[in-house]
Amino acid sequence: MKWLSTLLLALTASTAAAQADEVKRGNDFYREGNYAAAEQLYRRAGDNLTTKYNLANALIKQNRFDEALAVLAPLTTQTEDRALQEKAWYNTGVVYTKQKALEQSIDAYKSALRIDPADKEARDNLQKALLELKKQSGGGGGGAKMNNSEADKKLEQLKDKERKLQQSKQQPGGGNNPSKDW
């Protein structure tokens, strides 16, 4: 019986090594700009969360945005790895921006900033998306750029709104219990 467990351990190690090799080769193809080949290798490499993140990036580079969103969605909620979760939210924002879905991109960038408020790229992209949305909604503004203190203020307002929402859900009668209108 001991030889069976040794065989299973060897097979598991062999499979893990093969998957790691496919990820490495996929990364090489990605760096070379061969995103389709990278995608194939990432798909064969298994369900590792980092590999899924890499797969989403390869799909984004191929302008296959809906597929990328489908791969990114579980990474925003089903991982304890906060850094990976923040990156998934950020890339979700990028995809929505490319699709001109500004409200969704704004929400995604805000989610990324809730996890890592120091992410300058997420803050910059949030600012650009907010300005673009303002332009589209007739808010004009002549392309005035939001400064960091204004962006911080908006983010703090968002955090405060979320805190109040969470508190209302924790209070008896709050959150899931609709109030009666009679």
DSSP letter for each residue of 80-125? S-HHHHHHHHHHHHHHHHHTT-HHHHHHHHHHHHHH-TT-HHHHHH
- Domains of the chain (ranges; CATH) run 47-170 (1.25.40.10)
Residue 130 banded pLDDT, cuts 50, 70, 90: very high
- Alpha carbons 60 and 46: distance in angstroms, whole number: 19
Contact yes or no for 152/113 (Cβ under 8 A): no
3-class SS at 99? Answer: coil
Which tops the pLDDT comparison, 17 or 33?
33
Which tops the pLDDT comparison, 159 or 27?
27
Q: What does the angle CA 172 – CA 175 – CA 180 come to, to the nearest 5 degrees? A: 80
pLDDT of the residue at 4: 35
pLDDT of the residue at 10: 37
pLDDT tens per residue across span 73-97: 999 998 899 999 999 999 999 999 9
Which tops the pLDDT comparison, 158 or 127?
127
Residue 16 banded pLDDT, cuts 50, 70, 90: low
- Nearest-CA neighbor of 90 among 109, 104, 73? 109
Q: What is the pTM of this model?
A: 0.69
75, HSE (Cβ side, Cα atoms, 13 Å):
28
- Alpha carbons 141 and 118: distance in angstroms, whole number: 26
Mean pLDDT of 99-108: 96
pLDDT of the residue at 139: 65
Q: Is the pLDDT reported for residue 38 higher than 70?
A: yes
Mean pLDDT of 37-43: 95
pLDDT of the residue at 44: 93
Nearby residues of 97 by Cβ (< 8 Å), 6 or more positions away: 105, 125, 128, 129
Which tops the pLDDT comparison, 153 or 100?
100
Residue 5 banded pLDDT, cuts 50, 70, 90: very low
